[in-house]
Homo-oligomer: A and B are copies of this chain.
Amino acid sequence: MADGVYWDREKETRSREAREAEVLANLQSQLRFVYDALPFYRSHYDAHGFHPDQVKSLDDFSKRVPIVTKPMLRDDQAAAPPFGRYLGCEAADIIRVHGSSGTSGKPTLYAFSRGDWDYIADVMAQGLYTCGVRPGDIVQLATVFSLFMGGWGSLLGVERLGATAFPLGAGETERQLDLMYRIGATVLITTPTYALHMLETARALGYDAAKSPLRLGIFIGEPGSSIPGTRQALEQGWGIKVRDMATTSEMTPWSTNAECEAAAGPHVMQDEVWTEIVAKDDSSRLLPDGESGAIVYTHLKRRSQPMIRFYAGDESHMVYEPCSCGRTYPRLPAGVYGRLDDMLLIRGANVYPSQVQRSLLEVPGTGVEFKIVLEKKGALDHATVLVERDPAATPADIDHFAADLRERVRHKLKNDTAVNFEVDILPPNTLERALSKAKRVDDRRPKYRPGGH
């Protein structure tokens, strides 16, 4: 099926009109299915006075269909264990069970039917092919294989695509590196955080990282690789092309946002997962091209635990302007650049950790790891950034170097975020390295939750 730059030329290059005619038909079919077969959706829709017959256009879909949120899924699984009233297949037809990280209590469980698991492999193959993986590549998967979805979808796609999968898991970085060079892995799939840590370790061990056998890095699980500074650090450090895959577990197949060789932000595979950018405070209001808002996703074909207008809590903007690769899919020019629930409110200012990361990477002399600590001093928020210095920097006068760096970081952050951060410069390798998603905020302020929630 693969054809030069395309996994499926006809599908990827057809007109928007042709694609959206199919999308609408699939949306209508999904709505009928979930209303008829899934009590979770029927009661949700009945409560909102919505009926599938009301959707005659894509516009109707955005305006009329109520969104689904993570807490709704969690509550439904608690009320109807283990998979909730939105399973969509017979229990005997479930081929795999995985789960969320469940930081706020019990993990939400994900169940996949046999047919969907096979379908997911196809979509993942298209996504990885879009990112540039080819048969013959040796793909090192430095991703956790456990309850969490981690690299499971990537593994599936690599196998379907016809490349060689080398699923090592995350961790044991020295062994990762030894084997990468020994086997000659050509593609690395992991989080940007862990790829940066591997890079630090490689340099410390004396590898010439920029001449690694890798030619391509595909980064998942975190926004990092669409942040220019992080991307540059990874591309130059490893001597690779960097591609972003913007993912969220509930919406598996994970790779419906996958970046092509034009490197202009992930393409949105609108014929697999219909993706809308809506106003943060009104999920029925679609935003125009280029305007930043909340992402709402809909499974067009998946039948086990299908998500229809799932509000992922992610922020992005989308454009339909043509891409030089010839694909007619829209793009997320800056990737999925922040989780709305990661947004920090510091003395009234909105600050994203990813924004802090972007600023730090632009200050020469800083290393790749940082942590934001928030405290309350009296009535006021007090924000500190702990940031390591660049391990390559070996100044004669370390105290002077640190003081100077501290000042430059403080100035940069004030300029970019409008917040006065305290800055602590730490020695390299002081902060804990994350194997999966990095935890970069330590919010010690007393919790106040409106409505006691």
Q: Interface of A with B (CB < 8 Å)?
A: 81-82, 91-92, 94-97, 99, 106-107, 109, 114, 135-136, 138, 144-147, 159, 162, 164-169, 172, 175, 178-179, 182-184
Contact of A95 among B114, B146, B165 (CB under 8 A): B165
Q: A82 to B140, alpha carbons, bound, how many Å?
A: 15
Contact B97 A166 (CB under 8 A): yes
Contact of A168 among B136, B147, B184 (CB under 8 A): B147
Q: A292 to B27, alpha carbons, bound, how many Å?
A: 65
Contact A94 B164 (CB under 8 A): yes
Interchain nearest-CB distance for A365 vs B (Å) = 36
| A-B contacts, 25 listed (Cβ < 8 Å) | A81-B182, A82-B183, A82-B184, A91-B136, A92-B135, A92-B136, A94-B138, A95-B159, A95-B165, A96-B164, A96-B165, A96-B166, A97-B166, A97-B183, A107-B179, A109-B182, A109-B183, A144-B169, A145-B145, A145-B146, A145-B167, A146-B168, A146-B169, A147-B168, A147-B169
Contact A99 B136 (CB under 8 A): no
Q: A184 to B81, alpha carbons, bound, how many Å?
A: 10
CB closest chain-B residue, reference A176: B147
Interchain nearest-CB distance for A91 vs B (Å) = 8
Q: A82-B184, A184-B82 are in contact. Are A147 and B96 (CB under 8 A)?
A: no
Interchain nearest-CB distance for A388 vs B (Å) = 28
Interchain nearest-CB distance for A4 vs B (Å) = 18
Stoichiometry (number of copies): 2
Contact A164 B99 (CB under 8 A): no
Main DSSP-derived SS at the A contact region: mixed
A135, A145, A179, A183 interface centre (most CB from chain B within 10 Å): A145
Q: Inside 8 A of A109's CB, which chain B residues have their CB?
A: 182-183
Interchain nearest-CB distance for A311 vs B (Å) = 25
20 A-B pairs besides A82-B184, A91-B136, A146-B168 with CB distance below 8 A are A92-B135, A92-B136, A94-B164, A95-B159, A95-B164, A95-B165, A96-B164, A96-B166, A97-B164, A97-B183, A106-B182, A109-B183, A114-B162, A144-B169, A145-B145, A145-B167, A145-B169, A146-B169, A147-B169, A147-B179
Q: A172 to B148, alpha carbons, bound, how many Å?
A: 13
Q: Inside 8 A of A166's CB, which chain B residues have their CB?
A: 96-97
CB closest chain-B residue, reference A77: B182
Interchain nearest-CB distance for A252 vs B (Å) = 15
Q: Inside 8 A of A169's CB, which chain B residues have their CB?
A: 144-147
Q: A186 to B183, alpha carbons, bound, how many Å?
A: 39
Q: A165 to B175, alpha carbons, bound, how many Å?
A: 28
Q: Inside 8 A of A92's CB, which chain B residues have their CB?
A: 135-136
Q: A330 to B370, alpha carbons, bound, how many Å?
A: 61
CB closest chain-B residue, reference A96: B165
